[in-house]
Amino acid sequence: MKDAPMTGRTRLFPLNENNLRDTLKEAAAIINDRGLVAFPTETVYGLGANALDAKAVRAIFEAKGRPADNPLIVHISSKQQCCKLARNIPEKAFKLMDKFWPGPLTLILERQEIVPDVTTGGLDTVALRMPDNEIALGLIRVSGQPLAAPSANLSGKPSPTTAQHVISDLWGRIDAVIDGGTVEIGLESTVIDMTLPVPAILRPGRISLEDIEKEIGSITTGYLDGNQPESAAVRSPGMKYTHYAPDATVILIEGASTSVVHRIQEMLKTYGLEEVKVGLLLTDESNMDIYHDEQLSLGSKDKPAELAFNLFSGLRSLDARDVDIILVDGSFSHHGIGAAVSNRIRKAASSIIKV
């Protein structure tokens, strides 16, 4: 529970099949009392407050230690709420809502005045998403408020995929955690800016560029994936900060599976001589060829959804074992959600080695 003062302020709501209604009522009362409630979504756990209440939203930034210029996603439970929060919504945005909501897609739209500056980081746009999770949707409905909710981790740490992750980062700093078990996807939503003449993906996620292009035609990417020059500017304020970084130093090794395995074995020898404690995040394939004290497989290199599901918890669990360095096997497929997995690991990494 490092960094979290134990004030005893946080309530834990464990969910079972009988207590959903009562839990939602109590949690909604906390939201309407300007409090902070962490809750599961299908992507990662969010830390929610009434998005229209500047004081409540300010408390989110404080609890997470989040820079004030990094805007929050506003979570809604019906498409009707869009028009209250956003204006000049383009036809293509409605098409994406019809196809992908509720689901892991966040749309950047022109904002209405009612959304406070603190929620949008002072931007004239607002990020909207309808999560595909009955607890998240229930909390929005019962509280009657759109919920501003970033991932429920300390700023810079890997996003939480279980209530336990939220507790270890934020216990004592927030009012409540609803424990709805492990999330489904494990990586945050795709973020797309719909205010541009050609819409741009600002953060990749499970809904891929190809999925979106099938619905609305040509779009572009506004984030760096290692293949563009730095000048391909990053337009999402959040993407410029170090992210997803565990306490250990992360080194990503990219290349074909056999070359990656070979390099990791060489590095283990060198670190062994220097008595550096190394943890490995591998794919099932390389996990068969390497034997080391601290090693975890994230899943098959050809099943990026498995890697996505296990990535953040893998980073957190190696941190808990106090390793100095984490070597990550980057030989996995970059198709579909693989692009998003690669994006998150690259942001966590201090260096990237291509073999």
Q: Which residues form the interface with Mg ion (CB under 5 A)?
A: 151
Take residue 225 and report the two structure tokens written for it: 């994936």
| Closer residue to ligand TXA, CB minimum distance, 93 or 280 | 93
Pairing of strands 176-179, 11-14: parallel
Q: Say how far residue 4 (Cα) sits from the centre of its chain.
A: 20
Q: How far is the CB of 153 from Mg ion (least distance, A)?
A: 6
Binding to ligand TXA (CB under 6 A): which residues in 155-214?
A: 188-189, 191, 202-203
Contacts of 256 (CB under 8 A, 6+ apart): 331, 355
Assess 151 for contact with ligand TXA (CB under 6 A). yes
Q: Of the listed pieces 15-23, 43-51, 91-99, 169-177, which binds ligand TXA according to CB under 6 A? A: 43-51
Q: How far is 162 from 183, CA to CA, in rounded Å?
A: 7
Take residue 353 and report the two structure tokens written for it: 């080695």
Which residue's Cβ lies closest to ligand TXA? 238
The continuous run of DSSP H or E covering 47 comes out as: strand 46-50
| Closer residue to ligand TXA, CB minimum distance, 150 or 279 | 150
Q: How far is 109 from 233, CA to CA, in rounded Å?
A: 19
HEC per residue, 133-199: CHHHHHHHHHHCCCEECCECCCCCCCCCCCHHHHHHHHCCCCCEEEECCCCCCCCCCEEEECCCCCC
Q: How far is the CB of 61 from ligand TXA (least distance, A)?
A: 10
From 15, 123, 224, 234, residue interacting with ligand TXA (rule: CB under 6 A): 123
Q: Of the listed pieces 1-9, 37-45, 89-97, 321-329, which binds ligand TXA according to CB under 6 A? A: 37-45
| Closer residue to Mg ion, CB minimum distance, 151 or 208 | 151
- 211 to 240: interface string for ligand TXA, x by CB under 6 A: -------------------------xxxx-
Which entry of Mg ion, ligand TXA, none binds 71, CB below 5 to 8 A by partner kind? ligand TXA
Assess 344 for contact with ligand TXA (CB under 6 A). no
Name residue, tokens 């004081």.
55
Assess 125 for contact with ligand TXA (CB under 6 A). yes
Assess 73 for contact with ligand TXA (CB under 6 A). yes
